Amino acid sequence: MEAPVVALRKVFKRIDGEDILKDINLEVRKGEFLSIVGASGSGKSSLLYIMGLIDKPTFGEVLFEGERIEFSREEYLSRIRNGKIGFIFQFHYLLPEFTALENVMVPMLKAGISSEEAKERGRELLRKVGLAGKEERRPYQLSGGEMQRVAIARALANSPLLILADEPTGNLDSRNTEVVMDIFLDLNAEGITLVMVTHEEYLAKRSHRVLEMKDGRIISS
C-alpha cells in the first residue's frame, strides 16, 4: 500500500506547560479531502501547522510520504514545504507592491524556475481560478474573493502534492465562499490532496472525511 502523504504518530504539542495537542494519530492519504472542525482553541490550526512542517511537535513523529521528518534540518524542511506543500490562510498575505501575476510567480522564482516559464504558468493558474484578464492588477485593485483566489493560484505554483488551508473562507461572503469551495473540489478531483480547517460544518461535509477536535484531541473522524 502506498504510504500516506502525511502521518502523525503520538504527537503532542506543549506551549507554556500546556498540551495544546494530545496524542494525535492521523493519516492523510493521497487524493483525500479532509476537513478539520472544532471550537476555537481546540487545536485545529496547531495540527495543520505541524502537518505542514511549519511547527514541530514536542513529542511524537511526523512522516511525509513515509519518510520520518527531522525538524532540526531547516534547509531540508524548506525544500519539502516549498516543493510539495501549498499553504492557504484566512488572510491572503499577497505582496501589495506586486501584481497578481507577480505574486503567483514568487514561489516559482524561489524554486529556480525561469522568469519566462514562471510567467506562463502563473497566467495559466490565474485562468484556472477564474482571474484571466486580471494578471496585472495589484491587490488593492481586487476584491477580497479575488485576492483569495490569487492566494490559491500562488499555493499551486510549484505543483504541490498537498494543499493545507486554514479557514480559507473565513473572510469571504457566501458567494465567494462557494467559488473557493468549487475550486477546492475541482483541484481534489484532479488528484490534489487537501486538508482544510474550517468552523463551517456545512463546508466540511462537502469533503471526503471530517475530523472533529476538542481540547487538543481528535474526538471523531
Instruction: Write the pLDDT tens digit of every residue in 101-144.
Output: 999 999 999 889 999 999 999 999 999 999 999 999 999 999 99
- Name every residue whose Cβ is closer than 8 Å to that of residue 153 and which is 6 or more positions away in sequence: 100, 104, 122, 125, 126, 128, 129, 131
Look up residue 52 and give its amino acid: G
Strands (E), 39-161: 59-64, 67-68, 85-88
Per-residue pLDDT band at 72 (split at 50, 70, 90):
confident
Least confident of 69-73, 119-123, 195-199: 69-73
CA distance 131 to 123: 9
CA distance 15 to 85: 25
**C-beta of residue 166 within 8 angstroms of C-beta of residue 48:** yes
Which domain, by its residues, includes 142?
A: 6-220
Q: Check residue 166 and give its pLDDT.
A: 93
- Name every residue whose Cβ is closer than 8 Å to that of residue 218 and which is 6 or more positions away in sequence: 24, 25, 26, 211, 212
176 lies in some domain: yes
Q: Check residue 97 and give its pLDDT.
A: 96
Q: Check residue 74 and give its pLDDT.
A: 86
100 lies in some domain: yes
62 lies in some domain: yes
1 lies in some domain: no
What is the average pLDDT across 180-197?
Answer: 93
Q: Looking at the predicted structure, is the pLDDT value of residue 1 above 80? A: no
Q: Check residue 96 and give its pLDDT.
A: 95
Per-residue pLDDT band at 91 (split at 50, 70, 90):
confident
Q: Check residue 83 and give its pLDDT.
A: 87
88 lies in some domain: yes
Chain centre to alpha carbon of residue 30: 14
The total number of structural domains in the chain stands at 1
Provide the grid cell at 109: 522564482
**In CATH, what number is assigned to the domain containing residue 194?**
3.40.50.300
Model pTM above 0.75: yes
